Chains A and B, each alone.
Chain A
Amino acid sequence: MSAKSFKGGIHPNYSKVFTAGLPIKSARLPEKVIIPLQQHIGAPCDPLVEEGQSVKRGQKIAASESFVSAPIHASISGTVASISSHYAPTGTRINSVVIESDGSDALDESVQPSGKTLEDLSAQEIIEIIREAGIVGMGGAAFPAHVKLSPPEGKEIDTVIINGAECEPYLTADHRIMLEEPEKVVTGLKAFMKALGASTGIIGIEDNKPDALESMREAIKSERGLSVFPLPTKYPQGAEKMLIEVITGRQVPSGGLPLDVGVVNHNVGTSASVARAIEEGLPLVERVITVTGRGVLEPSNLKVRVGTPFADIVEQCGGVIGDVGKVVAGGPMMGIAQPNLDVPVVKGTSGILILKAEDVELVDPGPCIKCARCVEACPINLMPLFLGTAGEKRAIDQAEEYNALDCIECGCCSYECPAARPLTQWIKAAKAEIMARNKKQG
């Protein structure tokens, strides 16, 4: 019933049963938020507020002149306690605005609907609204959404794809959004299509979510040019190259972007945020995350304010059970392990995964026995075993020759390796070195 799948990939235990059936709940108002001034790929923002200043929800508190950047807004009302460096879930310290709540959650005056319907808005106006709302890709990469809507001259975009694959194990936030706010997803998709002048809009959903497929089909019933596409369930189906290939049959060229094949894709959550920005004027100050794993008492899908510390959220989910081994921001395949629960949720945080100590195995990597499971699993058709060894030995030229730069870091090779070799890690390290060297050489 679903389309032909992509080459490679893996079938991990999806572990979505913890939260797939749980409606989205609103988290309680945090007493304090830590809002990093760079939550996106691109230029960091400069603060527009000072310590001690009062701010209201939705007020712009940081911005940048750069095009590839996204402004940042206060997610609660209160007082700016400090502007200081804090750890973000990306593992780096980032200059952040810390706001202490005044408990009123007052909305800023700037938060006003545009007054126009989608039909009346021009493409340029839509892009401007999205940019001003600080919307970034909410699937994890956090690329500023308006940049993808501004293709360079001469690039025709005919198709917009909404990514509802949610192929990361454990995560169910996108699934719930498609069930509970399908009309928002559709509105966002139509806004993207209008901004790009695209005639086709497709919502791709893995076929392990039949209720989401049904919900979205119902929501687009009376819409022209929109369709729902059931995707074969396989990780990393939600990676944009795989998503676009399975849906359109087009291969994004090596080193290229989706727009090179006439496609722009956005995540379900991003699409719903765009709808909120257009209809209510609300910038991106809250998002849905999945709090899950065997290490948390009450796994949940929660709507949380950007900047809420993980500890605050975990406490609302009943706290942790027993010995916690690992806390991951995001899903288990591409998420980032955290040193503690002090880090805040940012725009790109799709979930908080809490693994019990007994489920976290630390094994020393063994020698590669060339079983080729990584070669079969690589969706990009690379040879991770040779790439990994090159990365381990820091043989940069060799890594480049084996196309390290094409790696999408999905983690399939590391997952499959019977010798527990951290192939993805070594390849990432090699990529970073290659890029640094290329930059130096101009």
Chain B
Amino acid sequence: MENKLVITPSPHIRTPETTKAIMMDVLIALFPVVVVAVLLFGYQALVTMVVAVLAAMITEAVVLRKKDLISDGSAAVTGLLLAMTLPATVPWWMPAIGSVVAIILGKQMFGGLGNNAFNPALVGRAVLVVSWATHMAGDVWPVPKPFSPFADVVTAATPLEKEGAELLEVPLMDMFLGNIGGSLGETSALALLIGGFWLFFRGHIDWRVPGCFFATVFLMGAIFGGGIYENLVLTGVFHLLAGGVMIGALFMATDMVTSPVTGLGKVIFGVGCGLITMIIRLWGNYPEGVMFAILLMNAVTPIIDRFTVPRKFGEVKE
């Protein structure tokens, strides 16, 4: 018996939680969003998601020279999140290129999982946006056609498109349920919130990042949004439901690797994401600012962590 005893330092018990289990939970959280995307945008949505996920997993396996496609599950998460940010009408090779870029440039170049400064899915999307602007929806987005196998080829402006300084008045309930134009995974606030609550109850996301993100967008929208709706509150709600705020705040900004670890840091990060999003929306050239807001805040995350080190127990005030 003696020869087989294991000697490791304490503690000798540990949580059942694993990195892979967390990644699987994120995939589970995205399930309602996947279902809604397929219902709204038809089989093209499915193709986009499958291509993105497979491309991400294969790229990671090739780069790491591993035979295990699933590995820690993080590549699948990146691929699926990237797909969620694309319009249903993109040609099939775009999610593939996006995923390859996300995994190589967004993640492995930095040293792999945990070392990347920027959210890999958003890096992939950013490259696609600047490279194929027309495919990535310049002015018009595919309109959902619920329960139809194909996305409607007719496209229309999304709620956030600017016609001069005018914003369209869209029924908020349509926006909440997702019956509007937009990327695959961003339209249905309901599906995203269900996923967000799942992550919250599983302990994988902290309320501070999405909470502060939402609060800032709502307040900025209500105060500076110009009253598209009959009152300020509804205008604030419009800004919460429009574009990528829901998916960004719940699934992108909460990416553990690229957001701060301290409580105060998470507050600063959330508020910063909200502020930049709204500045771009209200006064910038782009109709939507969520992606750039999160990428910019990713860049300052190490500094935020550095300056928000919590006061240690028993710290003597000088």
Contacts and interface: CB of A to CB of B under 8 A. Distances in A.
Interface string A415-431: 11111101011001000
A372 B312 contact: no
Interface in B221-270: 256-257, 259, 261-262
A324 B5 contact: yes
A335 B114 contact: no
Interface in A179-205: none
B19 A414 contact: no
Contacts of B115: 367
B65 interface: no
Interface string A306-329: 000000000000001001111110
Contact of B10 (A254, A333, A362): A333
B139 interface: no
Nearest to B2: A340
Interface string B9-32: 111111101110110000000000
A248 to B, nearest CB: 13
Nearest to B22: A418
Interface in B92-113: 112-113
Contact of B14 (A327, A381, A383, A414): A414
A326 B9 CA distance: 11
A325 B3 CA distance: 10
Contacts of B313: 7, 241, 251, 254, 379-381, 406
Contacts of A409: 10
A370 B12 contact: no
Contact of B12 (A256, A355, A368, A385): A355
A395 to B, nearest CB: 15
A411 B305 CA distance: 23
Contact of A339 (B5, B203, B309): B5
Nearest to B261: A372
Nearest to A324: B1
A118 interface: no
Given A339-B7, A425-B9, A381 B114 contact: no
B152 interface: no
A247 interface: no
Given A371-B22, A372-B261, A254 B314 contact: yes
A381 B73 CA distance: 31
B6 interface: yes
Interface in A395-442: 402-403, 406, 409, 411, 414-420, 422, 424-425, 428
B271 to A, nearest CB: 18
Interface string A229-261: 000000000000100000000011111100000
Contacts of A368: 114
Contacts of A362: 6, 8
A206 B7 CA distance: 30
Interface in A145-177: 169
B58 to A, nearest CB: 20
A324 B206 CA distance: 40
Contacts of A415: 11, 13-15
Interface in B283-318: 305, 309-316
Contacts of A22: none
Contacts of A411: 10-11
Contacts of A381: 310-313
Contact of B5 (A338, A372, A375): A338
B114 A369 contact: yes
B14 A337 contact: no
Interface string B185-218: 0000000000000000001101000000000000
Interface residues of A, number: 67
B4 interface: yes
Contacts of B10: 328, 332-337, 409, 411, 414, 424
Interface string B66-81: 0000001010000000
Contact of B13 (A12, A252, A323, A406): A12
Interface centre among B72, B74, B310 (most CB of A within 10 A): B310
B256 A371 contact: yes
Q: Which of A403, A418, A419 has the most CB of B within 10 A?
A: A418
A299 B203 CA distance: 35
A367 B18 CA distance: 11
Given A169-B13, A372-B206, A375-B262, A326 B19 contact: no
A425 B10 CA distance: 7
Contacts of B14: 361, 414-417, 420
B312 A380 contact: yes
A13 B13 contact: yes
Nearest to A416: B15
Given A251-B313, A353-B12, A367-B115, A372 B19 contact: no
A53 to B, nearest CB: 32
Given A366-B19, A367-B115, A419-B19, A251 B314 contact: yes
Contacts of B316: 253-254
A370 B9 contact: no
Contacts of B2: 339-341
A371 B204 CA distance: 8
A273 to B, nearest CB: 25
B42 to A, nearest CB: 35
Contacts of B203: 373
Contacts of B114: 367-370, 419
27 contacts: A169-B13, A323-B1, A324-B5, A325-B4, A326-B6, A327-B5, A332-B12, A335-B10, A337-B6, A338-B7, A341-B2, A362-B8, A366-B113, A369-B19, A369-B74, A369-B114, A371-B256, A372-B261, A375-B262, A381-B313, A383-B309, A383-B310, A402-B309, A415-B15, A416-B17, A417-B15, A418-B17
Given A254-B316, A369-B257, 11 more contacts: A254-B312, A325-B6, A337-B7, A337-B9, A361-B14, A381-B312, A402-B309, A416-B14, A416-B17, A417-B15, A422-B9
